[in-house]
Amino acid sequence: MGFKQNGNGVWVPDPIEYELGTAISAGDWNANSGGGRFIPPMRDELALAHKCALFKLAGVTHLEFHDTEAPAEKAEQITEIVHDCGLKIAMCTANLFRRPEFINGNFGSPDPKVRQAAINYTKAYITVGIEIFEAEKYVYWNGSNGTIMPLGVDYDGVYARVAECLDEIISWMITTYGREKALIFCIEPKPNEPPSWAVPADVGEALAIIAMMDPANRPFVGLNPETCHSQMASKRYAMELGLAAAAGKLFHVHLNGGSENPKFDEDRGFGDINPSIAVETVFTLQQIGYKSVVGLDVQPLPTDTNDQQCESIARSIRNFHRALTCCQRLDVTALNAARLSGDQATIAEMFTAAVCGC
């Protein structure tokens, strides 16, 4: 839990370690009645205990919550329901997008009152995460941060202000709880939706913002890359994982999927649309040595019935295990030899054979 000092005296995350694929989290928001701007709600809202039972049946071990679904005043009761079902809470995140004050951004807002509100919600929910949920991680998803119009925000200031807000939050968290108990703080980048140009847009931008922080606070902030967000940014997800890992910043993951070059966050099942992306992702997680809880951020399909509310999650977990099986077919020694000699033809053959199993 929290952070520990490595052999060089550097503070690094110290999450509970699991064999890859044995600890899977889902968002409380991943079972729902559905509906949106262009689709009708097709299902009932389920009570939390019912949802927990369905998530557990799907193979989920941990849940994740926004402060809007699980507000501080209900946090103890919610924790009890989750624990009674045999689940744990892996992550919590303050909603900095659906509240009216954040309609025009949050940490990057030019308005100090908006930034202060975002900081206050974040600190309050970190408190809940540590003191009640006993969560390991906190996620800042950029949400409304960025701009919907050209010159809608000062382009240098918007990045610097995010770094300043993160510095204030991390300094407070360390002073209040100590480094060992601090939540593992993750930035989840996304390039657009709701803003047309969101900040930070991808892993590289998030790393640039972390590099603007006080060096004493930098070790406590990392990444939560999400598959569909990376696809929206025209990035190859597994390479985003590699970049975060190379910087020592792969703190959490949100796996899901989308269509080719998606324009919005489709949150489809992991491996549903493109199984080869699932195999490449799981193989990369293995090679990186990712051992923490694997997060899913997957929505029910618009066509799913009441009984299928957690089917996208269940299928994603099955697909994760299918991908693990495919990865066993990849000979790492032979792959590395082909990489060394630059034999991309052999790599292509190995990869497709592993994905297809024939």
Q: 228: burial class by Cβ within 10 Å (0-12, 13-18, 19+)?
A: buried
Distance in Å, CB of 228 to Mn ion, minimum: 8
Q: Name the residue nearer to Mn ion (CB basis): 226 or 280.
A: 226
Q: Name the residue nearer to Mn ion (CB basis): 219 or 295.
A: 295
Read off the tokens for 129. 């995460």
108 with 145: CB under 8 angstroms?
yes
**Three-state DSSP class for 61?**
coil
Q: Name the residue nearer to Mn ion (CB basis): 254 or 322.
A: 254
Distance in Å, CB of 93 to Mn ion, minimum: 9
Read off the tokens for 204. 């590289």
Distance in Å, CB of 64 to Mn ion, minimum: 9
Note the Cα 7 to chain centre separation in Å: 28
Read off the tokens for 158. 């918007």
**Three-state DSSP class for 70?**
coil
Distance in Å, CB of 171 to Mn ion, minimum: 26
Binding site for Mn ion (CB under 5 A): 226, 254, 297
Q: Name the residue nearer to Mn ion (CB basis): 297 or 311.
A: 297
- Token match 């509310």: residue? 309
> Which residue's CB comes closest to Mn ion?
297
78 with 105: CB under 8 angstroms?
no
CA distances from 79 to 30, 58, 84, 88, 183 (A): 18, 20, 8, 8, 17
Q: Name the residue nearer to Mn ion (CB basis): 256 or 319.
A: 256
Q: Name the residue nearer to Mn ion (CB basis): 254 or 268.
A: 254
Distance in Å, CB of 159 to Mn ion, minimum: 21
The 184-188 sheet, strands edge to edge: 221-223, 184-188, 137-141, 88-93, 62-66, 24-27, 294-296, 254-255
SS3 string, 277-337, reads HHHHHHHHHHHHCCCCCEEECCCCCCCCCHHHCCHHHHHHHHHHHHHHHHHHCCCHHHHHH
Distance in Å, CB of 254 to Mn ion, minimum: 4
Q: Name the residue nearer to Mn ion (CB basis): 11 or 268.
A: 268
Distance in Å, CB of 350 to Mn ion, minimum: 31
